[in-house]
Amino acid sequence: MKEKTNRAITGVLLFLVFFLLASCQSKQMNLTNLEQNLETLEQYELLEIKFTLPEKNSDSNKLNHRPYAEFITPDNEKLKVFAFEYQGFSRGLVNNHEILTKINKQEWNIRYVPEEIGEYEYKIKVNEKTIYDNGKFQSEKSENKEFVRTADTNSFYFDSGEKFFPVGMNIAWHSERGTYDYDYYFQRLKDNNIDLVRIVMTPWSLGLEWSNQTSYGITSDYTGLETYSQENSWRLDHILQSAENNDIYIILTFDIYGELREESNDPREQLWEYNPYNKENNGFLDSPEEFFTNERAKTTYKRKLDYIISRWSHNTNILGWELWNEADITENYNKESFYEWNDEMYDYLKKIDEYQHFITTSFADVELAQGFWENHKYDYINIHLYSSNVSEEIISVIENLDKYEKPILISEFGLGQTSEPELKDISGSNLQNTIKKSIEQEIAGSAMPWWWDEYIDKYNLYQVLGKYSIENE
């Protein structure tokens, strides 16, 4: 009896040992519809891997269980690049409105650009124990443009050390024409050697998450927090590709102050009523100002940053990320709360962005922002300046900021808070004087005008900016 009992115990122990050994080993499983766009790439050329997961792993669509590629570089370094959910579309223009139509089924997508020369290998995983597929590709030397991601006190540089002095303007959002607007504008910019554009991901243009409540100009496929608009994501894919084709660099701004405001004369500036963080829209915040202090809100926002980095950080023509457009005019703004939030998100972006793009933010009030530039985290100083005497005020503003020894960019300027003063300047003399003064101050790029549609395009003033692009080549 004792011998039988010992044999039984031994059998159980052997079973447990084999079970534990098996569970520690990686399991090889095959993906469906796996596609790799290229087997041989040039440096900084896009590698794109598309696939769908087996049905039993469909719950991996949760952000914290996303599949990823583990790359092994020619220098034997391991890199982890997360996948993102992708839905393809075709576009059309009907009665001057962009219409998107789904094509194919939703799938997973991994994007990566190689920076080294040689053979890369990768494994696609959901966790360390489950390997879905293996692959490899060759990277060859090329003349493709590198990233712009180094700077000194007043200039930006390509990885090669070549100076990058951008001449640019805002084209912050599109009209009902959607991506067709950017096709139109980018062609005019290219014709005039203008090479930097600032875009804001607003709820009414290129935002990723919003409530499905009706609000100003919002027609996208929003369904709340952590389900990112595939329509706007596809639009931004198109816009960034168009920018690259036209040799244009992009500052991508993630959010705008109106999302956290309750009262304003402009319906685009009082959007808290429709914000998905609002409890009234199945969110969890009682008031706008909680956005910058609530821990759950911070975690939710970081997931959006995960998606942005996975989908777009490979773009060499993204100059940088701007966390907020004028956060200082959000509802009940508290600068200490925002500064702390900014520093946390800055650190998080630096952690997850393999390509280390520049990071900044912006303020409506130049003077009140001084404390931020002195003590907090950013890669270049980002100024907005509106004044009837803007071309002269630039001089004193820049002199006050030089002490921080960071590159300075004036990413918005104008004669006032509406386009009315500009519209009286048909020849663009103020536009020319302001850009000239900004260049004379030896900052990182030319000052960027705001009124792109109502003023610059209306009076065809692109050549005013283009003149300074040629002079600074």
At 136-167, the pLDDT tens digits run: 999 999 988 899 999 999 999 999 999 999 99
Give the confidence band of 60 by pLDDT, cuts at 50, 70, 90: very low
Say what percent of the chain tops pLDDT 70: 89
- What pLDDT, in 10s, does the model give residues 103-148? 989 999 999 999 999 999 999 998 877 778 889 999 999 988 899 9
Statement: residue 453 has pLDDT above 60: yes
Q: Are residues 94 and 178 in the same domain?
A: no
Q: Are residues 128 and 216 in the same domain?
A: no
Containing structural domain, residue 133: 27-140
Which is nearest to 418 in space by CA: 446, 454, 394? 454
Q: Are residues 276 and 425 in the same domain?
A: yes
Position 16 in a domain: no
Q: Are residues 64 and 155 in the same domain?
A: no
Q: Are residues 200 and 165 in the same domain?
A: yes
Mean per-residue pLDDT, 252-279: 93
Position 441 in a domain: yes
**pLDDT, position 469:** 65
Q: Are residues 319 and 354 in the same domain?
A: yes
Q: Are residues 305 and 380 in the same domain?
A: yes
CATH of the domain at 63: 2.60.40.1930
- What pLDDT, in 10s, does the model give residues 172-204? 999 999 999 999 999 999 999 999 999 999 999
Position 9 in a domain: no
CATH of the domain at 285: 3.20.20.80
Q: Are residues 282 and 418 in the same domain?
A: yes
- What pLDDT, in 10s, does the model give residues 16-52? 444 444 444 445 566 778 899 999 999 999 999 999 9
| Residue bearing the bigger pLDDT, 46 or 264 | 46
Q: Are residues 421 and 319 in the same domain?
A: yes
Q: Is the pTM of this model over 0.85?
A: yes
Q: Are residues 111 and 218 in the same domain?
A: no
Using CA atoms, how far apart are residues 316 and 45, in angstroms rounded to an integer? 9
Distance of CA 428 to CAs 164, 223, 384, Å? 25, 43, 19
Contact residues for 380 (Cβ-Cβ < 8 A; gap 6+):
151, 156, 320, 358, 360, 406, 407, 408, 409, 444
What total number of domains does the chain contain?
A: 2
Instruction: Please identify, among 86, 111, 140, the residue that sits at the C-terminal boundary of a domain.
Output: 140
Helix (H, G, I), strand (E, B) or coil at 10: helix
